[in-house]
Structure 1
Amino acid sequence: MNERIIFHLDMDQFFAAVEMLHQPHLRGLPIAVGGNPSGRGVVVTASYEARRFGIRSGMPAAEALRLCPQIVFVHSSVSKYCDVSARIFKSLLEFTDRVEPVSVDEAYMDVTDTVWKDGGVQGLAMKIKRRIVESEGLTSTIGAGPNRLVAKIASGMNKPDGFTYIPADRVEDMFRDMPVGDLHGVGKATQRTLESFGIRTAGQLAEFPVDILKRRMGKFGEELVRIARGEGSDKVLVPDEQPEEKSMGHEHTFSQDISDPVLLLGRLHLLCEKVARRLRSARMAGCTVAVRIRYRGFETVLHGCKLKRFVQHEMDIYPVVEKLFHESYRRGEPVRLTGVHVAELISVSELRQQELFVVPAEPDDLSQACDEIRDLYGERAIGFASGVFFSGGRPISNSRRTHFYSAFSRGSWLR
């Protein structure tokens, strides 16, 4: 048989489901993982009970509270979710050796060579779903199709705890009357643009002149037509086949909005340290640095620049970040999130071969010592003095900062 069979496995309300397993009293309640009762933060995952009130991932906690005053906020536990995720993905290897996790709760599987040994497409899907229920007590939804795009769309058709298979010869019929808003990659703004052309279904989009869309939307317009036709990659990449990361970054959402430039730069310095540590660990360096600032009203500014050389150390990254911050920050406006990103990455070994970047054979003594201390005692064990102005992720008050300066000038901070 020539047709490839790709599965897209999507765990149902994953973070919320894991929390309900560990806290059974939460079952049946509208819960949100992430955010807090004071209205700060963002909802990472909402239980199905909460979704009935219109609560969705990425929604500000304050909006979730407005929609559902009785919602229960649960602190997220990333390590717990990652542990469960790792066990699930390991169990998928019992059914095929071609498994590609794409997030903590999603994975693609190429089951072309094994599906017919396990009772066909539906038989294998049911076996995988039962295996996850028996081992973890969690439900999942599986979509199947001839490529990744169709499989992902199929997995969204019958949630939760569902299964949908769209064979290659049914793709056109299944997509024809599908609202364009249901297509992968089409958000509200894109939907409005398409509707301005009279395009309301995937079938209409598939037949629309590509040149017209390209003039209005660039290459994305061409990609949208391919999506509407159900065209996509059927490649499922195992770890050794994965392309190297093209960018690395870290972001932080403040527990309270910050407008003090000193505090904002202090947090950016900490983020530079985290990014640099990841770069050194991966033996990578980058030549594009960017700063992200999100204001109280959720307006987001991303400002970056390309450097003349590649960098991988916070002492090289931070001066660029500081300059970008001063160029883009609207002084006095409250900020809820900041981020640092380094892009256009290349391996240090390749850079040496091309003689584009002079780096030591091993990390310098200071960087290596700091990295080892953080490995042993945690990220906050050592860092630049600018990070002193944050305690447990919260900015230190002006009075405490004054005390710090006073103690620093006396040298008593060393005792």
Structure 2
Amino acid sequence: MLETQRTTMNSTRYIIHADMDAFFAAVEQKDNPALLSKPVLVGGKPESRGVVASCSYEARYYGIHSAMPMATAVRKCPDAIIMPPRFDRYSAISKDIMQILESFTPWIQPIALDEAFLDITETVSKTNTPLNIAKKIKESITQKTGLNISIGIGTTKSIAKIASGLGKPDGLVLVQEGQEAEFLKPLSVRYLPGIGPKTSLKLNSLGIETLGQLADKSIEWGTQVFGKKGPDFILMSRGIDGNEVVINEATKSISIERTFPQNVSDPNELFIQLSDICINLGMKLDQQGLKGRTVSLKLRLENFKTFTRSKTHSTVIWEPTNIYSIAITLLHKELKPGRLFRLIGVTISNFELNRQSTLFN
């Protein structure tokens, strides 16, 4: 994949992380006012081992979150309303959102249909402050789509992402230059990008609950405890993050992988994870206006043996249901007695151009 990186002579970077609030569920509530103020789940049917692709804030009150098995979500909230995904509708609105974001800066890095980083460094001036730019973005998106977006502003991508998450829903959080360490200091380590539940628990077991405590640790300690990711964790907890906003120019394949906290032997758990992966792959394909012919399933066993199984379809595909149909057929052939899996992943390749990209017009 080719990438273009921006360069600037300005001493201070200004990065925005823009993230729509409960995007799929919010679209369903907007299009059907009868769903407003009700717990809405977007995803597959519980009897078909579906997963939650998105849920409204009313549903989150019950502890429901995306990627949760739909059957589990329904048990937590029996009155929840399940809506099947309408990816064409979400993609159409995503196109509007991304066009608005692109109108503020060409330096935009989409992460998903509803999320992107923007480098607004060259857009900022004395009369056009980062806060003013963010307010204009929020106003433009709400006016065009009727939906809310949360925005975080910082001098790094990780600061901006944490800030947008803290402000949800419909938030706007600005972390000023020089205030990064103080902003991060009281936050739980789970807020740091890249630190998931397993890593968070490991840090907690070492007596590290907050990012301030993590920031006090040495780079050497980070490497010793977490390997090559350790130094990044330490530096980001101090507000130091050199990752740039990049523009993807060419994509030869799109893949998503999941490494399990514990080895998995239960086929049902594998099916749930595979379903969620295929939903997200379908969104990425539609986001970039791509269709592929080849579906590859990647598996890693408990002994770290890794192998890939592929199938090339006679026609191009991009919808999650079609990707899942091929991937699960490949998976069934590898479900042998006694096998324990550490990782599962799906890759789509052999692209041809879909319709006009839903991101850039």
- TM-score normalised over the length of structure 1: 0.63
What 5-or-longer segments of structure 1 have no aligned partner?
A: 252-256, 260-273, 294-298, 316-320, 349-370, 376-415
Among 209, 219, 233, the alignment partner of 2:242 is 233
In structure 1, C-alpha distance between the alignment counterparts of 2:162 and 2:267, rounded to whole Å: 40
What 5-or-longer segments of structure 2 have no aligned partner?
A: 1-9, 259-265, 269-281, 315-327, 356-361
- Name the SS for the 1:135 alignment partner: helix
Q: 1:39, 1:61 within 8 Å by CA — same for their partners in 2?
A: no
Q: 1:34, 1:73 within 8 Å by CA — same for their partners in 2?
A: yes
Matches within 5 A, 1:162-173: 162-173=171-182
Shift of 1:164: 0.5
Query: 1:207/1:339 Cα in 2 relative to 1: closer, same or farther (>3 Å)?
Result: closer
Aligned position for 1:291: 298
Matches within 5 A, 1:246-265: 248=255
In structure 2, C-alpha distance between the alignment counterparts of 1:183 and 1:237, rounded to whole Å: 20
Among 284, 304, 311, the alignment partner of 2:306 is 304
Query: 1:31/1:4 Cα in 2 relative to 1: closer, same or farther (>3 Å)?
Result: same
Counterpart of 1:124 in structure 2: which amino acid?
I
Aligned position for 2:335: 329
- TM-score normalised over the length of structure 2: 0.72
Query: 1:249/1:7 Cα in 2 relative to 1: closer, same or farther (>3 Å)?
Result: closer
Q: 2:157, 2:241 within 8 Å by CA — same for their partners in 1?
A: yes
Among 160, 166, 169, the alignment partner of 1:160 is 169
Q: Deviations over 1:360-402 (max 9, x none)?
A: xxxxxxxxxxx99x99xxxxxxxxxxxxxxxxxxxxxxxxxxx
Q: 1:8, 1:142 within 8 Å by CA — same for their partners in 2?
A: yes
Does 1:4 find its partner at 2:6?
no
Does 1:109 find its partner at 2:118?
yes
Q: 1:43, 1:60 within 8 Å by CA — same for their partners in 2?
A: yes
| Bigger share in strand | 2
Counterpart of 2:306 in structure 1: which amino acid?
G
In structure 2, C-alpha distance between the alignment counterparts of 1:322 and 1:32, rounded to whole Å: 27
Shift of 1:183: 1.5
Shift of 1:99: 1.7
Q: 1:290, 1:303 within 8 Å by CA — same for their partners in 2?
A: no
Aligned position for 2:130: 121
Query: 1:39/1:55 Cα in 2 relative to 1: closer, same or farther (>3 Å)?
Result: farther
Query: 1:71/1:324 Cα in 2 relative to 1: closer, same or farther (>3 Å)?
Result: closer
- Name the SS for the 2:16 alignment partner: strand
- Name the SS for the 1:232 alignment partner: coil
In structure 1, C-alpha distance between the alignment counterparts of 2:51 and 2:220, rounded to whole Å: 39
Matches within 5 A, 1:68-107: 68-107=77-116
- Structure number, greater radius of gyration: 1
In structure 2, C-alpha distance between the alignment counterparts of 1:80 and 1:175, rounded to whole Å: 37
In structure 1, C-alpha distance between the alignment counterparts of 2:79 and 2:291, rounded to whole Å: 44
In structure 1, C-alpha distance between the alignment counterparts of 2:212 and 2:252, rounded to whole Å: 35
Query: 1:49/1:324 Cα in 2 relative to 1: closer, same or farther (>3 Å)?
Result: closer
Q: 2:148, 2:170 within 8 Å by CA — same for their partners in 1?
A: yes
Indicate the RMSD between aligned Cα atoms, in angstroms: 4.2
Query: 1:152/1:339 Cα in 2 relative to 1: closer, same or farther (>3 Å)?
Result: closer
Counterpart of 2:335 in structure 1: which amino acid?
Y
Counterpart of 1:189 in structure 2: which amino acid?
K
- Name the SS for the 1:3 alignment partner: coil
Q: 1:290, 1:304 within 8 Å by CA — same for their partners in 2?
A: no
Q: 2:152, 2:174 within 8 Å by CA — same for their partners in 1?
A: yes
In structure 2, C-alpha distance between the alignment counterparts of 1:331 and 1:151, rounded to whole Å: 46
In structure 2, C-alpha distance between the alignment counterparts of 1:301 and 1:45, rounded to whole Å: 34
- Name the SS for the 2:336 alignment partner: coil
- Name the SS for the 2:52 alignment partner: coil
Aligned position for 1:187: 196
In structure 1, C-alpha distance between the alignment counterparts of 2:13 and 2:256, rounded to whole Å: 35
Q: How many residues align?
A: 305
- Name the SS for the 2:190 alignment partner: helix
Q: 2:158, 2:192 within 8 Å by CA — same for their partners in 1?
A: no
In structure 2, C-alpha distance between the alignment counterparts of 1:183 and 1:169, rounded to whole Å: 18
Structure 1 residues 157-166 or 30-39, which shifts more?
Answer: 30-39
In structure 1, C-alpha distance between the alignment counterparts of 2:28 and 2:291, rounded to whole Å: 32
Q: 2:294, 2:313 within 8 Å by CA — same for their partners in 1?
A: no
Aligned position for 2:228: 219
- 1 or 2 for the larger relative contact order (CA 8 Å, sep ≥6)? 2
Q: 1:39, 1:65 within 8 Å by CA — same for their partners in 2?
A: no
Aligned position for 1:378: none
Q: 2:40, 2:58 within 8 Å by CA — same for their partners in 1?
A: yes
Aligned position for 2:151: 142
Shift of 1:216: 3.2
Query: 1:302/1:314 Cα in 2 relative to 1: closer, same or farther (>3 Å)?
Result: farther
Q: 2:255, 2:347 within 8 Å by CA — same for their partners in 1?
A: yes
Shift of 1:245: 4.7
Shift of 1:341: 3.6
Counterpart of 2:77 in structure 1: which amino acid?
C
Q: Deviations over 1:312-335 (max 9, x none)?
A: 9579xxxxx999975x523499x9
Counterpart of 2:56 in structure 1: which amino acid?
S
Q: 1:39, 1:62 within 8 Å by CA — same for their partners in 2?
A: no
Among 188, 207, 210, the alignment partner of 1:201 is 210
Q: 2:255, 2:345 within 8 Å by CA — same for their partners in 1?
A: no
In structure 2, C-alpha distance between the alignment counterparts of 1:173 and 1:324, rounded to whole Å: 48
| Bigger share in helix | 1
Shift of 1:179: 1.2
Q: 1:291, 1:324 within 8 Å by CA — same for their partners in 2?
A: no
Q: 1:139, 1:160 within 8 Å by CA — same for their partners in 2?
A: yes
Shift of 1:238: 2.9
Query: 1:322/1:131 Cα in 2 relative to 1: closer, same or farther (>3 Å)?
Result: closer
